[in-house]
Amino acid sequence: MRRFVGMQRYSRSTARMVVGVYLATIFASVGFGHYLLSLPTSWMTIVLVVFTAIFIGTRHRGLNNIIHECSHASFADERQDNTVIGSLCASLLLKSFTKYRDDHLSHHAHIGDYEMDHEFAPIKKFRLHEPLTARTVLRHIVTPLLGRHLRMYTGINLSDEDGRAYYWLKIAVVAAIVLFTILQPLTSLIFVIIPLFYIYPTINFWTDCLDHAGLVGAEDELEASRNVLAPTPVRLLFFPRNDCYHLVHHLFPQIPARHLHKAHAELCESPDYCGQPAAVWPTHRFLTPPLVSKTAAPASD
């Protein structure tokens, strides 16, 4: 941990700029999508429409990851800035930062314990604790395609837990979505509603599977989560904010996300770390025995 102490968080101005870039990208992408819908239909425009909708969902995921960093007070230098930015981003996604932070910290303290891990308790039915086989992997892939994850992953929280200002911001976001849907129903459906209420939750579900499926219940922290060392373009698109280094994050949750790849590189100097398939996945074969937790078991009902 001493080797990671110097990894700096963002200054207040930089933290605000990062959030602003994500928001600007989302609005610009919605505008680009609206322009695509005005073009004559062709296979190229259809592909671009689909990709743009998916891209917007990944930027929502980026905002979600900023909320995650703020819950650990690792995004901005000042602790209060983390609370403000986390609450702002959560409100824009119609969530509660306070609830997210409490649930997520319980996940770190009691990872995989369905009785104490309030982040995983609602998704126990998806059986992420089961050892990875071709059948369970297929089930995890198909689950979002059937929409079975939506109730757990698309919940809207309009409470005032974060304060009245954020409550009214959430109301304003809902009103803006309704108004935009009335004015531009097709654009709103494809580039606002579907990315926010289906694509973004689906990415969250699949990311939970990549992070923990087959490992839930492992007693050793080195075996309880995994990194996903995907090619750089895939990481930038589907793992914004470096969240592909999930094992590193669980081992050292106070490391700012933008430094996780550096921490991973340093940890690879340790045979105990780089010898773990979960640390260098998918360099190892997908279904090697170490990826299947011998201790993983669901909590009693």
Do 247 and 202 share a structural domain? no
Task: Give pLDDT tens digits for 101-136.
Answer: 999 999 999 988 899 999 999 999 999 999 999 999
Task: Give pLDDT tens digits for 63-83.
Answer: 999 999 999 999 999 999 999
Domain end marker among 217, 237, 261:
217
Beta bridge partners of 297: none
Q: Across all residues in the chain, what is the average pLDDT?
A: 91
Do 167 and 91 share a structural domain? yes
Give the whole-angstrom CA distance, residue 206 versus residue 210: 6
Do 30 and 20 share a structural domain? yes
pLDDT of residue 289: 39
For 66, 83, 85, 114, 263, the CA distances from 10, given in Å and listed in that order, are 12, 14, 12, 34, 17
pLDDT of residue 163: 97
The predicted model scores a pTM of: 0.91
Asked whether the predicted pLDDT for residue 293 surpasses 50, the reply is no
Do 163 and 212 share a structural domain? yes
If one counts the domains in the chain, the total is 2
Give the whole-angstrom CA distance, residue 282 versus residue 227: 8
Q: Which amino acid is at 168?
A: W
Give the whole-angstrom CA distance, residue 144 versus residue 161: 29
Asked whether the predicted pLDDT for residue 2 surpasses 60, the reply is yes
Do 71 and 130 share a structural domain? yes
Range of the domain at 111: 10-217
Q: What is the mean pLDDT of residues 213-219?
A: 89
